[in-house]
Amino acid sequence: MNYFLTEEQTMIRDLAAQIAREKIAPIAAELDESGEFPWDVVKAMGMADLYRVFIPTEYEGLGGGCFEMVLAVEELSRACGGISLSYAASALGTIPIILFGTEEQKKKYLPPLASGEILAAFGLTEPNAGSDAAGIKTTARADGDSYVINGTKQWITNGGEASIYTVIALTDPHRGVRGSSAILVEKGTPGFEFGKKENKMGIRASATRELVFQDCRVPKSNILGKEGMGFLVAMRTLDQSRPGVAAQAVGIAQGALDKAIEYSRERQQFGKSISSFQGIQFILADMATQVEAARALTYAAARSIDAGEKDVSRASAMAKVFASDTAMKVTTDAVQVFGGYGYMKEYPVEKMMRDAKITQIYEGTNQIQREVIALNLIKESVRGARNAAATK
């Protein structure tokens, strides 16, 4: 389908596809097994300027936005949803700096993030604060010119590998979420350690770790935005990053579809290739249709964000829900097309099915996303009714 990409966007897509083909695909199965962090690929992506695409030109980026990030994530994820996450999670960690950073913070962190020399990460989730993000317990107590951070963040992607972390902590615990703030913490700051590396079902080449803060002292100038804005920083960041998760899901689904088509042509049963059976054809046709619909919604959400649309929560949540549910369904169907071989680790689709599952869970479960969409619909309806009453 033609999505009317500019020449530059086509370049980004093609280059990401080349990296996926030449650098990611050959090592995807091995890293899924070992769980090793893909630094070689990160280096290659950096040299290819891929981290620059969503960073403003003033800070050594190429000045693109969410859509350019989405194009890259999709192509990378087609080869491996775990390796591509090292890229997508760094984008998630970079977005709050782009949106809320001071000139000084941007000048310090964005150029090395743009070159891929360092990675970023984002720390919101805690052991007892997942969907209920307002339940965070990590504190950042003001002390002179510093904040002193205490608490534990859980399941942080790029944890231990990233150099710069945006951490949401309570600067005024009495005020709940209104007392939260977003604070930049550099790796290596005394009192900032990493917990165990999680042993995950899928996306195993990504690093998922705890961030442990024990009297970790950072200068007050590390705050993003103002005190009390932490939750706003987090929500605005996630609104912009969710199309990235959607793109990861689209990429994983497309990768599974590619493999299913290829295999159905090769696999012979009853004296012919299984692609000649209508039962298989219908599965493939549905898979392709769903992937294309997910892609279209994801691109539309990303483009709305880049167009400066004021409220992007709904579009962004819709893209994330639909694309991730599609990825789960399509990868499961791909395993079905492969039959018994699909269940075996020697073939690539069982990994894709495992990788797909997380996209329904992280950056807000799909149930939370549906709540966002529904509340948005109801609010809009109430507003419409009020306006109609006022003009009568």
Work out the angle at residue 140's Cα, subtended by the Cα atoms of residues 138 and 146, and round it to the nearest 5 degrees. 155
Q: Is-catalytic flag, 363?
A: yes
Binding site for another protein (CB under 8 A): 7-8, 11-12, 15, 18-19, 22-23, 44, 47-50, 52-53, 62
Dist CA 217 CA 213 (whole Å): 9
**Residue of 75, 82, 78 lying closest to 34 (CA atoms):** 82
Dist CA 348 CA 82 (whole Å): 13
Query: Smaller CB distance to another protein: residue 50 or 245?
Result: 50
Distance in Å, CB of 50 to another protein, minimum:
7
Dist CA 327 CA 287 (whole Å): 9
Dist CA 260 CA 254 (whole Å): 10
Dist CA 126 CA 252 (whole Å): 27
Distance in Å, CB of 281 to another protein, minimum:
26
Query: Smaller CB distance to another protein: residue 72 or 140?
Result: 72
Distance in Å, CB of 68 to another protein, minimum:
10
Angle, helix 66-79 to helix 83-100, in steps of 10 degrees: 170
CB 196 within 8 A of CB 59: no
Longest Cα separation, the chain: 79
Query: Smaller CB distance to another protein: residue 5 or 44?
Result: 44
Query: Smaller CB distance to another protein: residue 11 or 148?
Result: 11
Q: Which of 7, 363, 371, 380 is catalytic?
A: 363
Distance in Å, CB of 389 to another protein, minimum:
53
Q: Catalytic residues, which ones?
A: 363
